[in-house]
Structure 1
Amino acid sequence: MVFSFRLASFIVFTFTLVAIQSNSLAALQSDQLMTIGGEPVDKSELVYLLSKGQSDNPAQGGLSREEFEENLERFINYKLKVKEAEALNLDQTEEFISEFSTFQETLKAPFLIKNSLEEGELRKAYSRLQEVIRASHILFQFPPNASKEDSLIVLRMALKVRDEIASGGNINELAVEYSDDPSAKMNKGDLGYFTSLQMVPPFEDAVYNMQPGEISSPVLTSFGYHIIQLMDRRPNPGQVKVSHLLVRIDPDNPNGEDIAKRKVADVYQEIQKESTFWDEIVKNYSEDLATNQKGGALPWFSVGSMIPEFEMTAFSLTEEGEISPPVKTQYGYHILRLEGKRPLESFDNMEKSLRSKILRASRSSLIESQVMAIQKSRYNFQENDGNVMSLETALKAKTVATYADAMEEAGLTTNELFAIGESRFTGSDFLAFVSQKERIPGVDQNNFDTWYTAFVATSLNKAEDQDLLRNNKEYQMTLNEYRDGILLFSLMNQEVWQKGIMDSLGQRAYYQKNLQDYQWNDRVEAFLIKVLDISQANTAKNFVSGKELNPDLSSAFKNDIESANPLAFQTSYGLMEIKDHPILSQANLSEKYQEIEANGHLHLILLGEVIPAGPKDFSETRGLVIRDYQESLDQALIQRLRSKYSVVIDEEAKEETFIALNQ
């Protein structure tokens, strides 16, 4: 078992919540395992960290007694270093505060109410994408600056028309007569096929809860009241790619449609001939200037992306290369050719684009209002309606810059506006909030409702943050792990890593003190030729036979022999240790030239001077010295901290921790 703390500076954050063993953490949330420097350390912290390691390696099973003791010692060393970092005020530096604050904002996202609602909307949207819907509607808009009475009149009209449809009236004919949707004169209220995230949320929610033929009650959206009749729902066909040829209808010519109809019929007949090429026909006859020079090619599209007549024709084609009969749209007459089809993508592939669509204005506002409603209920939000109304009356005609004077004049600064649990929020708190924010993007900066709503939302969000810290054990543990990890990194960087790299005098002193660890074994200058192609062995033998070893010989062999037969030889030259070398350990060091068979290959060996065992020069082993010096600094730090801070372990709690980790 490897004990691993995931330091923030060492890893790529995934923020995937790691499962903790079900029988351990819940049972050990507040029991003290030890004290370090008089401060308690809960056994739940050790259980959490070790359980993460076990979750990463589920096949490893529980901890042995020996492993547990080793990990406990590492944990103590870890906590000692964190305590020392706190004593050095490393948790007060600007760098720490900035890094930890950024991390905390990112970490809390998966735990927030907003995240769960967004995830729910994502899953709902993808589930609905499995189907496409065809519906017709009649829109009843409100007059400008509508009063409540005006709204009731519109509602009564919507109900009257709904009753007429329910009694056998045709919604498409009635749409021409009643609908305030400008497109109804052309499409008679038929919206064609569409799918999730293509309509405003209330409209989408209504149609996805209807069955074909069903007529809705009035559905209120930002456009007005809708009466909807669901015509069809079917599996989503995915995406289609087509190319097209367009013959336009001249609106200024009384015979324009007849001319276009005859022309497209002639083109369609020409396409049927085997000798014709689609791209050439499109280039010569299509009046879509954006596509006629590229074979009429259009991008991939899904249901609800094109005008209904064009879209239905495109999705009706089944074989690549299939060509449709002419189809009329508002743009003229089209002939389509199918280029390809593909099914709906997986949730993982679509998640990013779905999230982007869900977080657009209308749906984002809907989620925010739902979040606020849940927060108000969960955190016992109580509003003083009278005081809020007085504040609104005093400020609604004022600019933000004059809020303070207006509130002071009206005596509203100490009035309680609302409470969240035991916390009270007054007019002064509202003023402080307004003064801290320069502006709220995308809204009238002098709108009282906007500022007050933002103040309430910010206060509720802070209450949720505090609730997470108090009551969500997993969030607490993860946040504390990364806080301590950042502190540990800072301390180690200051006391061990950078010191080990920069302290050249300390490196030299450590090298001299531990010279026995930096020794060469007996070495020999050698040139080795491994023969891979035995048919070329004599070439190599003839080259080295009778020659004295020197660097030029190695270079000459590479240039003259090995370069001509790159797959026939492997060579190495230099000063090499003899003891553990697979070839030199078998050589007779008194013979300058010899041949050795080993591991299925012939090796030609040319030997030079033998150098007896002795110390390595500092420059030859500086990297290893720095590593060992850093390790010695780390051990010295641990010993110093164990002397500085008392460690008192509760043996009973320790045993309970061991048992919990092995359940």
Structure 2
Amino acid sequence: MKKWIVFIFVSLSVSYTLAQKNTIVTIDQKPISIEEFEYYYNKNNTNDLQQKMPVEEYMQLFVNFKLKVHQAYMLQMDTAQTFKQELEGYRNQLIKPYLTDNEKIDDLVKEAYQHLLEDVDVSHILIRLNANPTPADTIAAYTKAMTAYKRVTNGESFEKIAVEFSEDPTVQENKGRLGFITGMMVVYPFEKTAYTTPVGQVSAPIRTRFGYHIIKVHDKRKTQGERLVAHILKRIPEDASEKQKAAIERSIKSIYEDLAKGADFQRLAQANSDDQSSANKGGEISWVGTGKTTPEFENAVFNLQNIGDISQPVKTEFGWHIIKLLDKRDIMTLQEAYPLIEPRVKTDERANIIANSFIEKLKKTYNFKSYPTNLHALQTLLAQPNDNILEQTKTYNLPIYTFADQVITQSDLIVFLHQQNYTKNPIDLSLLDILANQVANNTIIKYENSMLEKKYPEFGLLMNEYKEGILLFNISNEMVWSKASKDIEGLTDFFEKNKKSYAWDKPRFKGAIIYCDSKQSFKTAKKIAKATPEKELSTKLKQTLNSNEKNAVKIETGLFAEQTNPVVDKLVFKKGKLEKNNDYPYIFTSGNIQKHYPDSYQDIRGIVINDYQNYLDKQWIEELRSKYPIVIDTSVLNSLKSNNE
């Protein structure tokens, strides 16, 4: 077939931007836009003009690439289930930045950072709720929390009400006082309320995953940063007698006196500390910040002003401590902290805020409308369990939500409820609203997902790159790579026809080096070598002379050039010196010298396969160029060329 490449010479004044859809090349009547060509060209070329490939030269590579992909489409490789699954996997990763509210993420990261700059001293009252509370449980907990809140706001002591009402297991010891907290330390609703409640004030009950909290703010201060410290700990056992407690106190004071006289802190920690995890490091523990340890220990740490300062003995719930300040550091800058905060924001309670914000923006963009009357018309139908509910969907076709060109009908909701087994139980009005909203949210996100390629051209180009990259790999593997490695007849023929290309610069020895541990094994191995084909020699020698208890011979096989193996150099090429091998002092070789060429392609299999693959690829491209018409618009190409000069 005649090779068909048509260059169109058109005297047009071509201007283009990313938004324009000019065709730069057509392959088998399929137009390819200048945007797509430029995307690949820029991605595969550096900004260094000396390294940048000329546009017309790159066009030929681009055409070759597109021809291969086009054939993959013609062979319907894009319909294979494995291809679809692989592409879907890539897409699910790529869509993440597009199906979220990045502005809200940025706001929440900055808010979290501002919280990290300040510590808040708080107390709380907790009314617990389990992970899946019933409406009755929720109402009861809220009522109890409101009762406690009203008594506090009417003037009763917060500590008193905390002891009476709070279900925090530590309340008897701390009377609700948690001490200073900082950003990212507690669940987000608690954190948000603590930072927005003025000093001296008490918040109304707020809901977290633990239940309802009433929060009192005692104080706020600028963050103290973090301190690196070492400590010496003398533990007080829970069942210690007063006499034992006094002895432990005397012991820690004695250690402090030694330190005051100039004793080495590190050595004393190693010898005396009951904290085994830090004792062998001279007492050093991890960085201490707000809320990371007990209040007594934290206060003692931040009272140390200068690096090297040592505290007097400090008592905590764990025992007696002596603390040494090793280093200080201030809070990170926003730029430094951002990559550490962002993942937390995306995965804690803030994730729901981000998701809801994104959905609300979509609803606004797509003119989302709800029809509560049509939704609530389903209440009677759903008030009782109904296994045959799908039979009634035909009579329920009114819209409950609309957006863009989409309509969610009553029957759509009924089908969803049936599929999720909700119709096996009565559905009240509040649950119906929740489930319908869930359907609406899922549907609008699915719609947005389907619109990404149109809405974001750069995403469309990236997805197309992944798609065609997978197709290129699959068809290249079928037509070239896998074919070349398995085509023994083709490899042999290619090698013989191109044998001169593989001529040796120096002779090679192909065979085996046999190391023997004794004269007897040497003689036996020699006899075996004379009577055994080269391919079977190594196996035969090992089977005959080696056992589980002893290896009488050691065999090394390969293709050896001069100066790559001292044994071959000496015994085959008669050059160099051979050092004595005490373990295997008797050595001989078995094989032949290849003076000019390899005996077969197997001797240089990797090199020949690579060359054969290149040969097959070149033939394939020629075939594709003959088979499929190629039309290049040179005016557009020249315009692109001038923009890249």
Q: Could you say which residue in structure 2 is the equivalent of 1:477?
A: 461
SS in structure 1 opposite 2:577? helix
Q: Aligned partner of 2:178: which letter?
A: L
- Kindly provide the CA deviation profile for residues 224-248 of structure 1, in whole angstroms up to 9, marking residues without a partner as x: 4534344322242256554422336
- Kindly provide the CA deviation profile for residues 526-570 of structure 1, in whole angstroms up to 9, marking residues without a partner as x: xxxxxxxxxxxxxxxxxxxxxxx9626758812159x9xxxxxxx
TM-score by length of 2: 0.69
Task: Tell me if structure 2 keeps the 8 A contact 1:518–1:616.
Answer: no
Determine whether 1:468 maps to 2:457: no
Q: 1:559 aligns with which of 576, 579, 585?
A: 579
Q: Could you say which residue in structure 2 is the equivalent of 1:505?
A: 489
Change (3 A) 1:292 1:509: closer
Aligned partners of 1:360 and 1:397: how far apart in 2? Answer: 38
Q: Could you say which residue in structure 1 is the equivalent of 2:189?
A: 202
Q: Could you tell me how far 1:505 is from its partner in structure 2?
A: 1.6
Q: Could you say which residue in structure 2 is the equivalent of 1:542?
A: none
Determine whether 1:642 maps to 2:628: no
Judge which range, 288-297 or 352-361, deviates more: 288-297
Q: Aligned partner of 1:157: which letter?
A: K
Change (3 A) 1:358 1:97: same
Q: Aligned partner of 1:508: which letter?
A: T
SS in structure 2 opposite 1:559? coil
Q: Could you say which residue in structure 1 is the equivalent of 2:77?
A: 90
Change (3 A) 1:450 1:25: farther
Q: Could you say which residue in structure 1 is the equivalent of 2:233?
A: 244
Q: 1:337 aligns with which of 316, 319, 323?
A: 323
Q: Aligned partner of 2:292: which letter?
A: S
Task: Tell me if structure 1 keeps the 8 A contact 2:124–2:177.
Answer: no
Q: Could you tell me how far 1:493 is from its partner in structure 2?
A: 0.5
SS in structure 1 opposite 2:349? helix
Q: Could you tell me how far 1:481 is from its partner in structure 2?
A: 0.5
Aligned partners of 2:176 and 2:104: how far apart in 1? Answer: 33
Determine whether 1:455 maps to 2:446: no
Task: Tell me if structure 1 keeps the 8 A contact 2:481–2:613.
Answer: yes
Aligned partners of 2:143 and 2:610: how far apart in 1? Answer: 81
Q: Could you say which residue in structure 2 is the equivalent of 1:220?
A: 206
Aligned partners of 1:239 and 1:290: how far apart in 2? Answer: 16
Task: Tell me if structure 2 keeps the 8 A contact 1:279–1:294.
Answer: yes
Change (3 A) 1:438 1:41: farther
Judge which range, 482-491 or 273-282, deviates more: 273-282
SS in structure 1 opposite 2:226? coil
Q: Aligned partner of 1:634: which letter?
A: D
Task: Tell me if structure 2 keeps the 8 A contact 1:25–1:47.
Answer: no
Higher RCO (CA < 8 A, seq sep 6+) = 2
Task: Tell me if structure 2 keeps the 8 A contact 1:242–1:340.
Answer: no
Q: Could you say which residue in structure 1 is the equivalent of 2:120?
A: 134
Q: Aligned partner of 1:89: which letter?
A: Q
Q: Aligned partner of 2:468: which letter?
A: D
Aligned partners of 2:89 and 2:405: how far apart in 1? Answer: 28
SS in structure 1 opposite 2:397? coil
- Kindly provide the CA deviation profile for residues 186-226 of structure 1, in whole angstroms up to 9, marking residues without a partner as x: 54654322221222323323444678x57576573432453
- Kindly provide the CA deviation profile for residues 570-615 of structure 1, in whole angstroms up to 9, marking residues without a partner as x: xxxx979xxxxxxxxxxxxxxxxxxxxxxxxxxxxxxxxxx6x679
Q: Could you say which residue in structure 2 is the equivalent of 1:390?
A: 377
Q: 1:423 aligns with which of 406, 412, 415?
A: 406
- Kindly provide the CA deviation profile for residues 149-192 of structure 1, in whole angstroms up to 9, marking residues without a partner as x: 9699669838946xx7xxxxxxxx94224445455665465432
SS in structure 2 opposite 1:487? helix
Aligned partners of 1:351 and 1:386: how far apart in 2? Answer: 46
Q: Could you tell me how far 1:293 is from its partner in structure 2?
A: 11
- Kindly provide the CA deviation profile for residues 290-336 of structure 1, in whole angstroms up to 9, marking residues without a partner as x: 9999998866554213232232223434678865334454x375323
Q: Could you tell me how far 1:478 is from its partner in structure 2?
A: 0.6
Aligned partners of 1:642 and 1:289: how far apart in 2? Answer: 74
Task: Tell me if structure 1 keeps the 8 A contact 2:369–2:402.
Answer: yes
Q: Could you tell me how far 1:88 is from its partner in structure 2?
A: 0.3
Q: Could you say which residue in structure 1 is the equivalent of 2:477?
A: 493
**Superposition pairs for residues 273-422 of structure 1, below 5 Å?**
273-274=257-258, 277-278=268-269, 281-282=272-273, 301-317=288-304, 323-329=310-316, 331=317, 334-338=320-324, 340-341=326-327, 343=329, 354=341, 357-358=344-345, 362-392=349-379, 394-395=381-382, 398=385, 402=386, 405-406=388-389, 408-409=391-392, 413-422=396-405
Q: Aligned partner of 1:205: which letter?
A: K
Aligned partners of 1:293 and 1:633: how far apart in 2? Answer: 65
Aligned partners of 1:521 and 1:160: how far apart in 2? Answer: 96
SS in structure 1 opposite 2:490? helix
SS in structure 2 opposite 1:424? strand
Aligned partners of 2:184 and 2:341: how far apart in 1? Answer: 8
Q: Could you say which residue in structure 1 is the equivalent of 2:41?
A: 50
Judge which range, 493-502 or 191-200, deviates more: 191-200
Q: Could you tell me how far 1:100 is from its partner in structure 2?
A: 0.6
TM-score by length of 1: 0.67
- Kindly provide the CA deviation profile for residues 238-265 of structure 1, in whole angstroms up to 9, marking residues without a partner as x: 56554422336879x9xx6xx7875554
Change (3 A) 1:200 1:397: farther
Aligned partners of 2:597 and 2:272: how far apart in 1? Answer: 86
Q: Could you tell me how far 1:431 is from its partner in structure 2?
A: 4.4
Change (3 A) 1:346 1:501: farther
Q: Aligned partner of 1:231: which letter?
A: K
Aligned partners of 2:107 and 2:406: how far apart in 1? Answer: 31
Judge which range, 551-560 or 364-373, deviates more: 551-560
Aligned partners of 1:260 and 1:349: how far apart in 2? Answer: 49
* CA RMSD after TM alignment: 4.7
Q: Could you say which residue in structure 2 is the equivalent of 1:17?
A: none
Change (3 A) 1:238 1:461: farther
- Kindly provide the CA deviation profile for residues 2-32 of structure 1, in whole angstroms up to 9, marking residues without a partner as x: xxxxxxxxxxxxxxxxxxxxxx995354221
Judge which range, 384-393 or 85-94, deviates more: 384-393
Q: Could you tell me how far 1:465 is from its partner in structure 2?
A: 0.7
SS in structure 1 opposite 2:388? helix
Q: Could you tell me how far 1:42 is from its partner in structure 2?
A: 0.5
Q: Could you say which residue in structure 1 is the equivalent of 2:86?
A: 99
Aligned partners of 2:406 and 2:256: how far apart in 1? Answer: 79
Q: Could you tell me how far 1:52 is from its partner in structure 2?
A: 1.9
Aligned partners of 1:328 and 1:524: how far apart in 2? Answer: 79
SS in structure 1 opposite 2:489? helix
Q: Could you say which residue in structure 1 is the equivalent of 2:522?
A: none
Change (3 A) 1:263 1:149: closer
Change (3 A) 1:188 1:83: same
Change (3 A) 1:450 1:209: closer
Q: Could you tell me how far 1:426 is from its partner in structure 2?
A: 1.9
Q: 1:232 aligns with which of 216, 221, 224?
A: 221
Q: Could you tell me how far 1:91 is from its partner in structure 2?
A: 0.5
Aligned partners of 1:383 and 1:117: how far apart in 2? Answer: 25
Aligned partners of 2:112 and 2:301: how far apart in 1? Answer: 24
Determine whether 1:157 maps to 2:161: no
Q: Aligned partner of 1:98: which letter?
A: Q
Task: Tell me if structure 2 keeps the 8 A contact 1:206–1:219.
Answer: no
SS in structure 1 opposite 2:402? strand
| Structure 1: 5+ residue stretches without partners | 1-23, 165-172, 526-548, 564-573, 577-610
Q: Could you tell me how far 1:50 is from its partner in structure 2?
A: 1.7
Q: Could you tell me how far 1:341 is from its partner in structure 2?
A: 4.8
Task: Tell me if structure 2 keeps the 8 A contact 1:279–1:295.
Answer: yes
Aligned partners of 1:434 and 1:188: how far apart in 2? Answer: 47
Size of the aligned set, in residue pairs, is: 537
Task: Tell me if structure 1 keeps the 8 A contact 2:229–2:284.
Answer: no
Task: Tell me if structure 2 keeps the 8 A contact 1:133–1:233.
Answer: yes
| Structure 2: 5+ residue stretches without partners | 1-14, 129-135, 510-568, 584-591
SS in structure 2 opposite 1:455? helix
Aligned partners of 1:359 and 1:215: how far apart in 2? Answer: 30
Change (3 A) 1:461 1:308: same
